[in-house]
């Protein structure tokens, strides 16, 4: 019977995995693996592998089969410091953020109390005329105390003078141009010129206001005095306030001439007006800007191709 006992012992020993030393039925080495994926940390949790230890022997078993696997994906937006995915623009010193200045253009508005040159000459904060600054923010001229007369800084041939209206425009343009004496601006001027149809004295009107040069020196007490044959001071100061020196030459050859076409009494001589100042043929009457007697307006006829200045008188 000893052979029979040995056989039974071998059979029992060959089934060492069929019972648990702890008295628990089933496999002691099986494990359950759970895999969880979360987008919060953008990583996959490691698989947990069961470990079974026996007395005196440590055994680690990695199971290749999974009894139950659970995969969970969650989308998490973190607002914790350092985890935000929104772009951040910083204006603090030391950062690389680029900032740009924005310039806001405010349109000019009359009546806002701010002078917006060159569109506005003044702005008194209202749109009321009669207070020195009109409803269009332009300076209002008060009653004239004096009227100005000046010698043009430019010279012209008779053809360049053009008709009378063109000469008047030239005078007003120079008075308001760059470098002109400020007192001349915003005033209207006409040229002391006559043609076959109009007289210089009539074009000025019968104003009683005194005439002065840009430097303030008097020329005549009124318009009528201009036809009396004498002036208080020669009209030799330009719109820029510059005094032009005299060449001290005779009228027939002098370069100090001024186109007038006008006799001492203020009337025109159509025969010496270069075809109404629209031709380079014939002759035109000139005056001398360094004179204070009758020759200031009527000195000698000169050829229309020569270049001379103009007298410009302010009108009321």
Residue 7 Cα distances to 2, 20, 214, angstroms: 9, 22, 146
Residues 293 and 180 in one domain: yes
Task: Tell me the two tokens of residue 138.
Answer: 């332009």
Tokens 């005329």 sit on residue: 129
Instruction: Supply the pLDDT for residue 293.
Output: 97
In a domain, 95, yes or no: no
How deeply is 17 buried, as exposed, middle or buried, from its count of CB atoms within 10 A (0-12, 13-18, 19+)? exposed
Number of CB atoms found within 10 A of residue 234's CB: 21
Residues 126 and 269 in one domain: no
* CB 237 within 8 Å of CB 151: yes
Instruction: Supply the pLDDT for residue 101.
Output: 58
Residues 136 and 221 in one domain: no
Instruction: Supply the pLDDT for residue 139.
Output: 76
CATH number of the domain to which 242 belongs = 3.10.100.10
In a domain, 25, yes or no: no
In a domain, 118, yes or no: yes
The dihedral over CA atoms of 273, 279, 281, 286, expressed in degrees to the nearest 10, equals 30
Residues 202 and 116 in one domain: no
Residues 196 and 130 in one domain: no
Instruction: Supply the pLDDT for residue 207.
Output: 77
In a domain, 188, yes or no: yes
Predicted model pTM: 0.58
Report the DSSP beta bridge partners of residue 259: 286
d(CA 71, CA 75): 14
Residues 153 and 299 in one domain: yes
In a domain, 41, yes or no: no
**In tens digits, what is the pLDDT along the chain, a chain of 316 residues?**
444 444 433 333 344 444 444 443 444 333 333 333 333 333 334 443 333 333 333 333 333 333 343 434 444 344 444 444 444 444 444 444 444 555 565 667 898 988 888 888 888 888 887 666 888 888 766 666 899 999 999 999 999 999 999 999 999 999 999 999 999 999 999 999 999 899 999 999 877 899 999 999 999 999 999 999 999 999 999 999 999 999 999 999 999 999 999 999 999 988 999 999 999 999 999 999 999 999 999 999 999 999 999 999 999 7
Residues 294 and 158 in one domain: yes
DSSP state of 48: P
In a domain, 184, yes or no: yes
The dihedral over CA atoms of 78, 80, 81, 86, expressed in degrees to the nearest 10, equals 30
Give CA 194 to chain center in angstroms.
45
| Helix/strand number for the chain, H first, E second | 5, 12
Dihedral sign for Cα 279, 284, 290, 296, please: negative
Residues 228 and 117 in one domain: no
How many structural domains is the chain composed of?
A: 2
Residues 156 and 220 in one domain: yes
Domain around 128: 110-140
Residues 115 and 178 in one domain: no
Residues 115 and 243 in one domain: no
């Amino acid at each position: 019977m000893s052979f029979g006992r040995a056989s039974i012992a071998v059979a029992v020993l060959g089934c060492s995995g069929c019972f648990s030393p702890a008295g628990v039925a089933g496999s002691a080495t099986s494990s359950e693996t759970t895999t969880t994926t979360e987008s919060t940390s953008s990583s996959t949790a490691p698989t947990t592998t069961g470990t079974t230890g026996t007395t005196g022997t440590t055994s680690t078993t990695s199971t290749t089969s999974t009894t139950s696997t659970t995969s969970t994906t969650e989308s998490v937006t973190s607002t914790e410091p350092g985890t935000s995915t929104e772009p951040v623009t910083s204006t603090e010193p030391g950062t690389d953020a680029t900032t740009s200045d924005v310039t806001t253009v405010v349109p000019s508005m009359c009546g806002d109390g701010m002078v917006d040159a060159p569109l506005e000459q003044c702005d008194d904060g209202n749109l009321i005329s009669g207070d020195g600054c009109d409803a269009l923010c332009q300076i209002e001229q008060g009653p004239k105390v004096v009227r100005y007369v000046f010698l043009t800084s430019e010279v012209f041939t008779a053809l360049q003078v053009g008709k009378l209206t063109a000469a008047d425009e030239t005078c007003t343009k120079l008075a308001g141009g760059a470098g002109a004496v400020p007192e001349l601006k915003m005033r209207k001027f006409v040229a002391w010129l006559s043609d076959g149809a109009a007289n210089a004295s009539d074009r000025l009107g019968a104003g009683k206001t005194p005439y002065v040069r840009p430097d303030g020196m008097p020329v005549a007490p009124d318009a009528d005095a201009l036809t009396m044959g004498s002036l208080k001071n020669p009209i030799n100061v330009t719109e820029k306030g510059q005094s032009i020196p005299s060449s001290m030459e005779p009228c027939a050859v002098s370069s100090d001439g001024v186109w007038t076409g006008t006799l001492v009494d203020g009337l025109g001589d159509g025969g010496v007006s270069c075809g109404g100042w629209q031709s380079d043929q014939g002759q035109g009457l000139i005056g001398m800007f360094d004179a204070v007697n009758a020759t200031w307006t009527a000195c000698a006829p000169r050829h229309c191709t020569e270049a001379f200045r103009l007298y410009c008188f302010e009108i009321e």
